[in-house]
Amino acid sequence: MTARAHRNLSLVAVKSPGRAAAVDDASVEAVVREVLAAVRDRGDAAVAEYAAKFDRSQRDGFEVTQEERAAALEDLDPQTRKDTVFAIDNVRRFAEAQRATLQPLEVEVMPGVHLGHRVIPVERVGCYVPGGRYPLLSAPIMTIVPAKVAGVDEVIAALPPNAHPAMIAGCHLSGADRIFRIGGAQAIAAMAFGTESVPRVDKIVGPGNAFVNEAKRQVFGAVGIDQLAGPSEIYVLADETGDAEMIATDLLAQAEHDPRTRVGLITTSRALAEATLAEVERQLGDLPTAATAGQAWRDSGEIVVAADEATMIAYSDEIAAEHLQIHTRDPRDFARKLRNYGSLFIGELASVVYSDKCSGTNHTLPTMAAGRYTGGLWVGTYLKVATHQWLDERGVRAVAPPAVRQSASEGLEGHRRAAQLRLDRMQAR
C-alpha cells in the first residue's frame, strides 16, 4: 500500500487483523504428511483407517453406487432439485461462453516459421466437495460443471462420508463420472496417488478445511491444484450513496460461512461507516447464525473511512478481496478502476449471495490477497494451452544461424550441432 493510502485512512471499527496464513499450525502439516505417506504406501487400507479415525466412518466401499445415486435423487426435495438444475444451467452457460473465447492458434511469425497452440482438456480431475457446517449444494456445481464443459474425460468427486445425502445428488446432477465418500487429507492423497479403488487424477480442485488445504499444498507437483483456499472474504466499496442496511446484510451473509471470514467496508463517507457499524450490531441481535457471523465480525471485521476515491481504490487493491461489491453513484465506471479482486459485484443489486448459489459465475475464488496474481476457478482451470511449432526450409535458414551463434557463445556444443545439422543437410542438397 502507498504511504498516501495509509495517511488517508481511518478506522471506525478497529478490527483489522493480520493476514492469516494458508496453514498456521505445524501440527496440521505433520498430520497431513503422515496421512499422505500412509495412503501412498497402503492405499485403500490407510484410507479406511483414517476414515474411521477422523470421520468415524466404517464403510465397506468408498465409491457411491448407482443405486445410492438414484436414492439420493429420489430423496431430494423437488423444489431443491429444480433450484439445483437452475444453478447448473447458469454455470454451464457461462462456462460455455468462456470456453468459446479460448481458441487454438496457428501463425507464421516469419516466412517458414509456424507457431501455434492447442487448447487441451486435462484428462482426469478430482473435485473435492466440502461437507462444511451446512449442505452447500452449490459446491459440486462450481467445480464439476466447468470441468465437463472443458471436456475433461473423467471427473472424480470426493466428499466426506458424513456429508448430507443431497450432496450426492448435487454431484450426480453436475455430471460427476464417479463419486467417492472420502473426506479430508486422505481424499486428497487418494486422488493424488491413486489407490485400489480411487484412480489417480491429474489435477485436484475445490476448497476444504485446513487439512485439505495443506494436503493440496503438499501434493502439488505430483498433481496440479487450483489454488490454496483461505477463509472467505467480502468487502464493500461505497460512497455516500451506500445503503447501510443493505451493506450490513451482505457482510453478515458472508460472515455466517465461517468464524474466520474476513468482512469489511471501505467508504469515503463517515456517516455511512457509522450507520453500517450500528446496523451490523442491530442485525446480529436476531440473526440465527449470529454465533458464527458475530465471531467473524468481532475477530475480522473492518470499517475504513478513506479521504477520497483514489485512497479507497488503493486500499481495496491492497486487500484484493475474494468478493468485492461496489455501491457507488456510478458503479460501472468505478469498476473499471479496480485491479485486484476475486470476483466483482457491480451495483447494489448484485449480491455475492447470487453468485454463491446460482447466477452463473464461479464462487471458488482466490483469498488471502491471491487476487493480486490470479483469478478464480473457471473453465480454463481444466484446460492446458500447449504450444507447438513447425518449420520449412525457409524457416531453418532464418533461425538456424542465430541459434548456432548463441549456442556457441554459451558453450553448449550439443545445442550448436543440433542447430547446425539441419542447415548443413539443406546446403548439401
Residues recognised as catalytic: 322-323
- The burial of 79, by beta-carbon neighbours within 10 Å (0-12 exposed, 13-18 middle, 19 or more buried), is given as exposed
- CB neighbour list of residue 374: distance below 8 Å, 6 or more residues apart: 227, 366
The C-alpha atoms of residue 179 and residue 34 are separated, in whole angstroms, by: 25
Helix locations, 57-183, DSSP H: 66-75, 78-100, 138-150, 165-174
User: What φ, ψ does residue 365 adopt, rounded to 5°?
Assistant: -130, 160
Question: Reading across the β-sheet that carries 383-391, which strands appear in turn?
Answer: 105-110, 113-121, 383-391
Which of these, 136, 176, 134, lies nearest to 155 by C-alpha position?
176
The C-alpha atoms of residue 15 and residue 391 are separated, in whole angstroms, by: 61
The C-alpha atoms of residue 95 and residue 90 are separated, in whole angstroms, by: 9
Q: How many CB atoms lie within 10 A of CB 246?
A: 18
DSSP H helix total and E strand total for the chain:
17, 14
- The burial of 37, by beta-carbon neighbours within 10 Å (0-12 exposed, 13-18 middle, 19 or more buried), is given as middle
User: What φ, ψ does residue 350 adopt, rounded to 5°?
Assistant: -95, 95
The C-alpha atoms of residue 414 and residue 425 are separated, in whole angstroms, by: 17
Inter-CA distances, 265 with 176, 315, 324, 338, 372, Å: 38, 11, 10, 15, 19
β 262-267/301-306 pair status? parallel
Which of these, 132, 184, 161, lies nearest to 289 by C-alpha position?
132
Name the 3-class secondary structure at 155.
strand
Contact by Cβ (8 Å): 242, 272: yes
* Length of the chain measured in residues: 429
The C-alpha atoms of residue 47 and residue 194 are separated, in whole angstroms, by: 11
